[in-house]
Amino acid sequence: MINLNKFTEDYVNLLSRSILSSNLKNLQKSSMEILKRIKNKKTIYVCGNGGSAAIANHYVVDFLKFFKDKTKLKPRILSLSNNIESITAISNDINYKDIFSYQLDNYYSKGDLLIVISSSGNSQNIVKLINFAKQKKIKTIGFSGFKGGYLQKNCNISVHIDSNNYGISEDAHHILMHVQLQYLIYYLTKKKLF
């Protein structure tokens, strides 16, 4: 039996290896797509299920508040995971697999961007959303884990964490969200925040 310190060290080392072995070139591409939408006053939509929904909501907080404070740019960013009233109405009256695509159908405009976070990449509501985005020509960024699933194969830009552990996958996605945020601030201001 190992103690908690050694267990933590092993976990953090695995997390670090998982992040560094992901496609960081695509993280750069996805960051530039985010910046392009912010500069062009287009809307960025973010969503996910469960822990990924929390990461999606965190994107909104950090870009809406922190990014604006540090750069003076005003991102338009919305989480499709954040409105429990809409989500439950859509899932009850239509179908749970429609919770994201139905909302996006009401909101999107030409040139908007969709960021989807999903460890498995195979949830029915994610599959339906990606298909809807393809049909409407909405550019998509997918953060996936495990084998990447449908999301990795069908989004425009894939940032994949090759881990079969939900904690590692979600932690990596959350860290990469912060990396993107701080990198874009550095890119615009030439000030490193760490």
Residues 91-101: tens digit of each pLDDT? 999 999 999 99
Q: Helix or strand or coil: residue 181?
A: helix
Q: Could you give the angle at the alpha carbon of 134 between the alpha carbons of 145 and 87, nearest 5°?
A: 70
Nearest to 55 by CA among 181, 183, 174, 180: 174
Residues 47-74: tens digit of each pLDDT? 999 999 999 999 999 999 999 999 999 9
- Confidence tier at 1 by pLDDT (50, 70, 90): confident
What separation in angstroms does the CA of 168 have from each of 12, 17, 46, 147?
A: 9, 10, 20, 13
pTM, two decimals, is: 0.97
Q: Could you tell me how far CA 66 lies from the centroid of its own chain?
A: 17
Q: Which domains does the chain have, with CATH numbers?
A: 23-189 (3.40.50.10490)
